[in-house]
Amino acid sequence: MKKRILGFTIAAMMLLVVFGLVGCNSTQGIPHGAYRRLDIHGNTINEGAEGAWIIRKDEAEHRYLKFGIVEIAENIYFEIERVKEGSCTGAESGLFRYEVKYDKKTEILTVAMPSTDGKPFHIPTNDLDIKEFQFKKIGINIG
């Protein structure tokens, strides 16, 4: 009887650990980790940690700005609300949503965000055109 209880307890603990790890490793279907930008040929561009999207828990970070990850009408968005203060202009304040798509097969994250000179602009703004950029997960997992 004691062996049966011990076996059941160990099995239950293992299931809890497995489900805990699965639940902690994904946010709205996007696995945690760092994603570097891809060039037009599909090669990663090393812009350092600043140029990557870092996905962890319920947030996405890019260039020191932390975005919430929300799902609205079956679409995923990186969302941030910026208050107009200091050097922040009217075009750089308010609620910003970057539409996001994640391809599980290729592990490519596509983010529609402001663009200047063909590169992602580091500050959310209404002054620039929106362009889709692709990012590929690199080997780092961030919990």
Query: pLDDT tens for residues 55-80?
Result: 998 899 999 899 999 999 999 999 99
Q: What is the pLDDT of residue 18?
A: 44
Q: What is the pTM of this model?
A: 0.76
Measured CA distances, 8 to 4, 13, 17, 114 (Å)? 6, 9, 14, 53
Looking at this protein, which amino acid is placed at residue 135?
A: F
More confident residue, 82 or 7: 82
The residues near 118 (Cβ < 8 Å, ≥ 6 apart) are 131
Give the closest residue to 42 by CA, choosing from 120, 121, 118, 108.
Answer: 108
Nearest-angstrom CA–CA distance, 34 and 32: 7
Could you read off the pLDDT of 83-141 as tens digits, one per residue?
888 777 888 889 999 999 999 999 999 999 999 998 999 899 999 999 999 999 987 55
**pLDDT at residue 8 above 60?**
no
Query: Which residue's entry shows tokens 């570097």?
Result: 36
Q: What average pLDDT does the segment 4-17 reach?
A: 57
Poorest-pLDDT segment among 20-29, 35-44, 78-87, 129-138: 20-29
Nearest-angstrom CA–CA distance, 108 and 68: 19
Q: What is the pLDDT of residue 55?
A: 95
**pLDDT at residue 4 above 60?**
yes
